[in-house]
Amino acid sequence: MIKIDKELIQELRDRTGLGMMDCRKALEETHGNVEAAIEVLRKKGTLVAAKRAARTTSEGIVHTYIHPGDRLGVMVEINCETDFVARTDALRTLAKDLCMHIAAIKPLYLNPEEVDPTFLEKEKAILKEQLASSGKPEQMINQIVEGKLNKLYSEICLLKQQFIKNDQQTVQDAINEVIAKTGENVVVKRFARFELGV
């Protein structure tokens, strides 16, 4: 086992917000490579999130943000398993960051499952019509349409969007990091964005 110095562990902790032991193990696994360790921790967060996904989330917080000038406001509800985690800095910081993200990026839906089916069918029809004259086989056209729909989801669905604070991860990845940090299931239940005149 290689020796990892404390400065490296602290740097990784500062960048990820995760515990000392998790950071040390990730650095040992990647032979002291901080970037690779971040990737290892991100994957671990995704695995932890998958394990916790079935747990009931009946506690949480509602956080609000009003943009200076009082013309734009955001409200988000984040649920977790216990009131202890609801009071942690990790959850409160996530709520604040998500409000800022929603204010700036303007998602229309929480996730792909919530996208209006009528809107989706209309988009599919437009895409298929655009590709119809390309001469490509139907199976290939369907794959292209599926790819374009996934891109659409990443633009209009909060959980699929690139996170405003770190464009190397999605909003769901940021939530997964909080799940790994707190050891509890954390879900965004709903959000609302209000803008004067829109």
Sign of the torsion formed by the C-alpha atoms of 92, 156, 18 and 183 = positive
Q: Give pTM, 2 decimals.
A: 0.71
Quick one: pLDDT at residue 190? 96
According to the CATH classification, is domain 59-110+157-195 in 3.30.479.20?
A: yes
Q: How does pLDDT run across 144-181, given as a tens digit for each residue?
A: 888 888 899 999 999 999 999 998 899 999 998 898 88
CATH classification (class only), 6-52: mainly alpha
* Per-residue confidence (pLDDT) for residue 139, from 0 to 100: 80
Q: pLDDT tens digits for 24-80?
A: 888 888 888 888 887 877 777 655 555 556 666 789 999 999 999 999 999 999 999
Check if the beta carbon of residue 101 is closer than 8 Å to that of residue 165: yes
Rounded Cα distance between 18 and 78, Å, is: 20
Which residues have a Cβ under 8 Å from the Cβ of 163 and sit 6 or more positions away? 97, 101, 169, 170, 171, 173, 174
Q: Which residue has the tokens 């649920």?
A: 79
Structural domain spans, the chain: 6-52, 59-110+157-195, 116-155
Among the listed residues 64, 142, 138, 149, the one whose alpha carbon sits nearest the alpha carbon of residue 99:
64
